[in-house]
């Protein structure tokens, strides 16, 4: 399934039914009087978040959503039927904004959360409502009130406890595939990852957390360079960032330069991003050139007051230590606790996901990587 995290749609609530102009005409009952009923209410348009959805693909290609109108009133004081509400189902983590003003309308961050995006119109009153002692035969009724309508934008921000950030091709996808059941595409060229991927990491007996692999960032990403800031919104909800650095390339300008570059792009996208707690680690420790450089790099970061870890996702060396650091920083209420890992979202890109292996997931990260 194609991963879509943005959509612009038009919503229109149902109009209220019009009131009825009617007079009672019945044998042996002269001057029966007005008996026009009221119109029914138009249907609301409701947006509801559900874990059954992973992307906004359905809404990308079906842009118009119009609820049904209420039925008109009838004689004998019969009220028109209220229309059913229209429900639009979106993934958990969807942000709803007004397309014209950009105003934030709702943030659907929990399963089952809902929001009335367009309210249906009220039905008009029939002429029976207007009968008085001095106006006994009103020959008019109210029309129904039109339902609300608007264009809205939907933005999906993935829900994850840990977000993996770094330059392209530093080993982010290899790391998430080694600690979870996520299977993103892995290759030796930049921008292999084109969509975010989610994985569930089990630790302890019943605890787990969700980790997100974000496509690589480059200088100028906040201005649209490379993959741009298209996926940076997915990092906003994370509690902790795993910042992976690669010191193996010959043209490498230095680990500290890469570290500052990524953090600068995050801060330019949103000042709150720089405030997020980070675990900084050097990847590809299985490479000879990385082993030759990593100790000097650790000293440089230590002088800046930053602890630098090192790991190899290919061999598993150092991965348990990285996971322990992440677990220590994740708020207790943020992690999935007491849940079957198979019920948690694993991968935002359904085509790249596979069913969780129960035996594999029951093992601790240390056991799996040993």
272 lies in a domain? yes
Phi (first) and psi of residue 298, to 5 degrees: -60, -40
Name the more confident of 291 and 208: 291
Name the more confident of 339 and 38: 38
CB atoms within 10 A of CB 124: 25
3-state helix, strand, coil in the chain (%, to 5): 25, 25, 55
180 and 281 fall within a common domain: yes
pLDDT band, very low/low/confident/very high, at 83 (cuts 50, 70, 90):
very high
Q: What is the mean pLDDT of residues 37-47?
A: 96
1 lies in a domain? no
pLDDT at 45: 97
* pLDDT(370) > 60: no
96 and 36 fall within a common domain: yes
Residue 352, domain CATH: 3.40.50.300
Instruction: Tell me how far apart the alpha carbons of residues 233 and 50 are, in angstroms, rounded to a whole number.
Output: 19
Beta bridge partners of 211: 162, 199
100 and 224 fall within a common domain: no
Q: What is the mean pLDDT of residues 292-315?
A: 88
* pLDDT(191) > 60: no
Are 67 and 43 in contact by the 8 Å Cβ rule? The answer is yes
pLDDT at 207: 72
Domain count of the chain?
2
Q: Is the pTM of this model over 0.75?
A: no
Dig out the tokens for 192 from the structure: 């292999």
Report the run of H or E that residue 322 belongs to, with start and end: helix 319-329
* pLDDT(190) > 60: no
Q: What is the mean pLDDT of residues 11-19?
A: 96
235 and 363 fall within a common domain: yes
* pLDDT(27) > 90: no
140 and 242 fall within a common domain: no
Q: What range defines the domain where residue 282 resides?
A: 162-369
Least confident interval from 85-94, 121-130, 199-208, 232-241: 199-208
Please write the tens of the pLDDT for every residue from 199-213: 788 876 667 788 888
Residue 41, domain CATH: 2.70.210.12
* pLDDT(264) > 90: no
223 and 109 fall within a common domain: no
Q: What is the mean pLDDT of residues 249-253?
A: 64
Q: What is the mean pLDDT of residues 82-94?
A: 93
Q: What is the mean pLDDT of residues 152-179?
A: 83
Closest of 106, 161, 155 to residue 335, by C-alpha: 161
| Angle, CA of 256, 301 and 188, to the nearest 5° | 50
């Amino acid at each position: 399934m194609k991963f879509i995290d943005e959509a612009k749609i038009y919503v229109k609530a149902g109009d209220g039914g019009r009131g009825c102009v009617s007079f009672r005409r019945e044998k042996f009952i002269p001057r029966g009087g007005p008996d026009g009923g009221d119109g029914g209410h138009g249907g609301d348009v409701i947006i509801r978040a559900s874990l059954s959805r992973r992307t906004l693909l359905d809404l990308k290609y079906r842009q118009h959503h119009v609820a049904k109108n209420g039925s008109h009133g009838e004689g004998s004081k019969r009220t028109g039927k209220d229309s059913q509400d229209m429900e639009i189902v979106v993934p958990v983590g969807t942000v709803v904004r007004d397309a014209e003003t950009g105003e934030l309308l709702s943030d659907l961050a929990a399963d089952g959360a809902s929001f009335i995006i367009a309210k249906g119109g009220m039905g008009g009153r029939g002429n029976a409502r207007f009968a008085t002692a001095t106006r006994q035969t009103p020959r008019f009724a109210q029309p129904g009130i039109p339902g609300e309508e608007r264009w809205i934008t939907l933005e999906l921000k993935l829900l994850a406890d840990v977000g993996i950030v770094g330059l392209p091709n530093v080993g982010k996808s290899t790391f998430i595939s080694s600690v979870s059941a996520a299977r993103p595409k892995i290759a030796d060229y930049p921008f292999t990852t084109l969509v975010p991927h989610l994985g569930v990491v089990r630790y302890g007996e019943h605890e787990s957390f969700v980790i997100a692999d974000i496509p690589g960032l480059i200088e100028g990403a906040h201005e649209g360079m490379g993959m741009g800031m298209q996926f940076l919104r997915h990092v906003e909800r994370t509690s902790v960032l795993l910042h992976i650095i690669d010191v193996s390339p010959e043209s490498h300008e230095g680990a500290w330069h890469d570290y500052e570059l990524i953090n600068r792009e995050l801060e330019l996208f949103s000042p709150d991003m720089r405030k997020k707690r980070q675990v900084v680690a050097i990847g590809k420790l299985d490479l000879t050139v990385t082993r030759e450089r990593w100790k000097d790099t650790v000293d440089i970061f230590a002088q800046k007051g930053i602890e630098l870890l090192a790991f190899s996702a290919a061999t598993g060396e150092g991965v348990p230590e990285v996971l322990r650091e992440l677990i220590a920083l994740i708020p207790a209420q943020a992690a999935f606790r007491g849940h079957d890992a198979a019920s948690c979202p694993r991968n935002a890109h359904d085509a790249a996901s596979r069913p969780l292996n129960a035996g594999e997931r029951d093992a601790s990260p240390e056991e799996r990587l040993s």
